[in-house]
Amino acid sequence: MAILEVEDLKVNYGCIKALKGINFSVNEGEIVTLIGSNGAGKSTTMNTISGVVRAESGRILFQGDDISNRPTDYIVKNGVVLSPEGRQVFPYMSVMENLMIGAITCKDRKVIEKNLEEVFLLFPVLKERMKQAAGTLSGGEQQELAVGRALMANPRLLMLDEPSLGLAPILIQTLFNMIVRINRDMGITILIVEQNARMALSISHHAFVLETGNITLSGAGEELANNPEVRAAYLGG
């Protein structure tokens, strides 16, 4: 059953048509990936779903509720949370302060405490360094913090924009193992935008290929990983 439905979504930046009427859905409990080259519209899609960018037309339905162009805080409160490209942690604030900013829309203290406990179980280094300034963490640790901060908002749908960007290969594998755990053990539906198409497709239930504002291919993650066109364009042949 679809938890997210994107219908004929169009987004313009002035005269540039960033999204040209895309349609896709994300089923509850799945990991779904959007792949495509730079400038294809992947981040625009994520930012429009999360309310950061306004849609020109079309609809975004989350659990049947039309969240198109709703305020970002409304979208977060309803369970759609974005971990943005480039991590965007607050460098001069502590790890704990960054995490608690993620919980700002949650008013239930018990839920906040439960989420914090789960974040520390997933990412023990964040507990070890809770008083440390976020800007002094390594790139991998900052990515863990960015994901942990998003989890503090109690998402039903967690959106990850380029989570592996700038990470060493061994850290990328660890990160994707964590994404699988978040999906499997916490029951959170995940939508990923990722340049590392091979790794993303390997953990995805379903995937879509986005090219210059249009979805051109879709299928199971394994199916697209074995598609000759996808292999040639995104997986190095």
**Domains of the chain with CATH codes:** 2-234 (3.40.50.300)
What is the structure's pLDDT at 171?
87
CB neighbour burial string for 199-214, b if at least 16 within 10 angstroms, e if fewer: bbbebbbbbbbbeebe
What is the structure's pLDDT at 106?
86
What is the structure's pLDDT at 71?
95
**Which tokens go with 192?**
């990923």
Considering the entire predicted model, what is its pTM? 0.93
Please report the DSSP string for 96-116 in residue order: HHHHHHHTTT---HHHHHHHH
Mind listing the pLDDT tens digit of every residue in the chain (237 residues)?
899 999 999 999 989 999 999 999 999 999 999 999 888 999 999 999 999 999 999 999 999 999 999 999 999 999 999 998 877 899 999 999 999 999 998 888 999 999 999 999 999 999 999 999 999 999 889 999 999 999 999 999 999 999 988 888 888 899 999 999 999 999 999 999 988 899 999 999 999 999 999 999 999 999 999 999 889 888 765
Residues contacting residue 178 through CB under 8 Å, at least 6 positions apart: 122, 123, 144, 147
Checking DSSP bridges between strand 189-193 and strand 206-211, what pairing results, if any? unpaired
What is the structure's pLDDT at 233?
84
**Which tokens go with 31?**
């990991």
User: Torsions phi, psi of 37, nearest 5?
Assistant: -75, 170
